[in-house]
Amino acid sequence: MVAEPHNDNNPVGYVPHNYSEVFDVALTPQGDLIIVGLMADTAIFGTTRLLSPGRGSVFVVKLAGATGQPVWAQQLTSPVSLYSNGCGVEVDPAGNVYVSGTYSQSITCGPTTLTSAGEVDTFVASLTGAGQWRWAKSAGGPGRDMSNQIMLDPAGNVCLSGVFQTGAVFGTQTLTSTKFDVYLATLAPTGQWLTAENLTHATDSLQVAPFGLATGPHGQLYVGLNWSNPRRLLPGSITIGSTTLTVPARSQQRALLAQRDSAGQWTWMRQLRGALTSGVACDKRGNVYVGGVNGDTLWVDSTVRLTPHSLNAAEAFTMSFSAAGDYQWVCSSDSSRGTIQPKGLSTGAPGEVYLQGSLQGWFDFGSFMLEAGLNFDVDLFVIKGAGPAPFNLRMGFSPTVATVGQPVTLSVNLPGGLTGLTSVTLNGVPITTYLVNANGQLVFTVPTSATTGTISLTVNGQIYTSTMPLTVQRTTGVAEAIDAAPLQLYPNPAREQVRISGGAVDAPVQLLDALGRVVRVASQANVRFDLRGLPAGVYVMRRGAQARRLVIE
C-alpha cells in the first residue's frame, strides 16, 4: 500500500494523515487473503487508488496468496467530517466476503448508501470473490450501536456481536436496554436479518464488550466478553441467560468465556480475572482457546493460573479449556523489555493455535525471540504453537551457569507439577540422578558429559523444553572464554545493538560479563542483539564454541 500526501482541503480529524491500520484478515478457499482496515487520505493498492473523503474510510483488499499482489480493492466511505471504522471480515466456502463495522450518519458501500438511525450504527456488507458488491445492511437505534465481532456459523449465516445503547433495530426485530448491553444477531448469506437477542444485562456501573465468537464441532457457540468497573466504589453485576455474576467494588479487569449448546442453553461459564482478552477460537476436537494480555495475576474462577514474570509487565497469554469447560493449560510470553498487544486467535489442526498482534521491544515465545525495530517501532507478530504448551513454558533454574557436578534447582509451572516425570536431559545428555523436593522443584547434578544447552523434561509422555539454556562452564574468566573463532560483531564498540555473523548458526547467542556470567541470551535465528539497559564495559559474545570480545559504550 502507498499513501499520498494529505490535502488540507480534505480535513481528517479522527485518524492521522496518511494513516492506515489493518483490523482483520481472512483466508479464501483458494488461499488468497482478504484484508479489512481503516485509511485516511489516499491509498494505492496495485493499480487501484482509493480516496477517503472523511475521517477515515474502510478498505477491503484482496491479495493473491501466491504473490501477495493486490487483486482488487474496494472502499466503504462516509462524507467529509464523518467517520467509519471496519471491524472484521469473514469469507464463506464460495469465496463471498462479509465485512462488518461501525459508521456515523451515512456510509456508501458500492451502489448502496446506508443511513444511521442515531449517533453511531452497525453495518455489514458483502462482496463476491471478484470484488463486486452483493448487499449492505444497517442496524441500530437512537444511541450508540457498534459492531465488535463477525463470524460465520456452520450453516453459513453471518453472526454479529457488539454493544448497543437504549434500543436497536435489526430488520424487523427491536432490542431494548437502559444502558449499554451486548447483542448477538444473525443474517442469511443473502442479507436478510434472521435473529437478534440481548446476550447480557449489566448494571450501569459496568462496561461490557464482546471480544470473540467461535463455534464448536457440535454446534456450540462460544462467546467471550470483557468488562470493567469504572465506578470502582460500586459493585456491579452481569446476567447471561439465567446466571447472574456479581462484580465486587474495586475489582480488576475481568473477562468471561461462556458456552451455549446447539439447543440454545448456556452450559458453562468461566471468569478470568486480571486479563484483557482479545480472541476466542475452537479446534475440531472441541477444545476452546482464549488469547489476551495480562499484567497481573491471572485467575480462572477462584484459582490462580498464571503469575507475571515481573510487576507491571504486560505479557501475552493463551489458555485452553475442554469442551466441557475444564481448564487445561495456560502459557505466556516472557518480556525482557517492551509492550505487547494480542489482536486475535485462530486454530488449525487439532492442538494448533495461532496468536497474532503487535509488539514493541522484545519478547520470548518458547525458543523464539521476537524483536521489534529500534526507536520504539511497533511490529506485527504471528506465533504458531501446538500441544499443551505452545508458547513459553515457565521453566526457571538456579544457577544459570554451573560446572560439572554442581547441583541445579529447577522450577516449572505445569498444572500438575512434576507428577509423571520420567526423564530429564541437558542438551540431549540424560540426567540419571535427580529428585523432586518438598517445594515441587527438580534438583539435579550436572553430568560429566553435559554441555551448554536447554533442559528437557518428559512428563506424562509430553516433552517440555526450557526457553533459555543452562550454561555449563569448564573454565572461568573472560580471557579463557575468548578464542580465535570467526565470529563477527558490528559495530564494536557498540551502544544500542550489535549485528552478529558467523559462529554456529544453530546455537543461541550468549553475552557474558567480565566475570563470565551470562547476562543476556538470544535465539539462534536472531542476528541483531539488543544491548539497551546494559552498563558500559567489556563483554564476551559467544555463539557455540566461538566467542569475541565486545565493548559496550
Confidence of residue 481 (pLDDT cuts 50, 70, 90): very low
Grid cell 559496550 in the structure block, residue: 552
Mean pLDDT of 152-171: 91
Tell me if 2 sits within 8 A of 39, measured CB to CB: no
**Per-residue pLDDT reduced to its tens digit, 55-64:** 678 889 998 8
Which architecture characterizes domain 475-552 according to CATH?
A: Sandwich (2.60)
- What is the 3-class SS of 409-464, one letter each residue? EEEECCCCCCCCEEEEEECCEECCCEEECCCCCEEEECCCCCCCECEEEEECCEEE
**Per-residue pLDDT reduced to its tens digit, 197-249:** 988 887 776 778 888 899 988 889 999 988 877 666 677 778 888 888 877 77
Q: Given a cut of 60, is residue 482 above it in pLDDT?
A: no
Q: Given a cut of 70, is residue 388 above it in pLDDT?
A: no
Label residue 480 left, alpha or beta by phi (over 0 means left) and psi (-120 to 50 means alpha): alpha
Q: What's the pLDDT score for residue 7?
A: 36
Lowest-confidence segment of 82-96, 180-194, 256-270 by average pLDDT:
82-96
State the cell numbers at 122. Answer: 452497525
Tell me if 121 sits within 8 A of 145, measured CB to CB: yes
**Per-residue pLDDT reduced to its tens digit, 67-106:** 888 999 999 887 754 556 667 899 999 999 999 999 888 8
Tell me if 186 sits within 8 A of 173, measured CB to CB: no
Instruction: Give the residue from 114, 87, 83 showing the smallest Cα distance to 98.
Output: 87
Cα of first residue to Cα of last residue in the chain, in angstroms, is 39
Q: 486 preceded by cis ω (within 30°)?
A: no
Instruction: Give the residue from 180, 259, 256, 195 showing the smallest Cα distance to 221.
Output: 259
Q: 491 preceded by cis ω (within 30°)?
A: yes
* 48 against 383, higher pLDDT: 48
**Per-residue pLDDT reduced to its tens digit, 486-535:** 677 878 888 888 888 776 656 678 888 766 677 888 765 456 788 888 88
Q: What's the pLDDT score for residue 241?
A: 84
Q: What's the pLDDT score for residue 361?
A: 73
Q: In which residue ranges of the chain is CATH 2.60.40.10 found?
A: 395-472
Mean pLDDT of 384-407: 68
Mean pLDDT computed over every residue of the chain: 79
State the cell numbers at 322. Answer: 475442554
Mean pLDDT of 109-126: 92
Confidence of residue 269 (pLDDT cuts 50, 70, 90): very high
Q: What's the pLDDT score for residue 286?
A: 85
Confidence of residue 349 (pLDDT cuts 50, 70, 90): low
What residues are paired with 226 via a beta bridge?
A: 209, 255
DSSP letter (8 states) at residue 43: E
Q: Does the domain formed by 395-472 have CATH 1.10.510.10?
A: no
Q: Which residues contact 388 (CB under 8 A, 6 or more apart)?
A: 320, 328, 329, 462
**Per-residue pLDDT reduced to its tens digit, 4-22:** 333 333 322 233 345 567 7
Tell me if 70 sits within 8 A of 62, measured CB to CB: yes
**Per-residue pLDDT reduced to its tens digit, 405-461:** 888 988 776 766 788 899 999 988 899 889 988 878 899 988 888 888 888 888 877
**Per-residue pLDDT reduced to its tens digit, 281-309:** 888 888 899 988 887 788 888 887 777 66
Q: What's the pLDDT score for residue 191?
A: 96
Q: With 0-12 CB in 10 A as exposed, 13-18 as middle and 19+ as buried, what is 396? A: middle
Whole-structure pTM value: 0.65
Tell me if 425 sits within 8 A of 498, measured CB to CB: no
Q: What percent of the chain has pLDDT over 90?
A: 19
State the cell numbers at 283. Answer: 479446534
477-498 burial, b for 16+ CB within 10 Å, e for fewer?
Answer: ebeebbeebebebeeeebeeeb
Q: Which residues contact 80 (CB under 8 A, 6 or more apart)?
A: 10, 11, 53, 54
State the cell numbers at 484. Answer: 580465535
DSSP letter (8 states) at residue 495: S
What residues are paired with 228 via a beta bridge?
A: 207
Q: What's the pLDDT score for residue 16?
A: 38
Q: Given a cut of 50, is residue 109 above it in pLDDT?
A: yes
Of 113-117, 124-128, 418-422, 533-537, highest mean pLDDT: 124-128
Q: Given a cut of 50, is residue 476 above it in pLDDT?
A: no
Grid cell 451515512 in the structure block, residue: 106
Q: How far apart are CA 337 and CA 335, in angstroms?
A: 5
Q: Given a cut of 60, is residue 480 above it in pLDDT?
A: no
Alpha-carbon distances, residue 33 vs 27, 71, 251, 277, 522 (angstroms): 5, 10, 41, 25, 32
Q: Given a cut of 50, is residue 334 above it in pLDDT?
A: yes
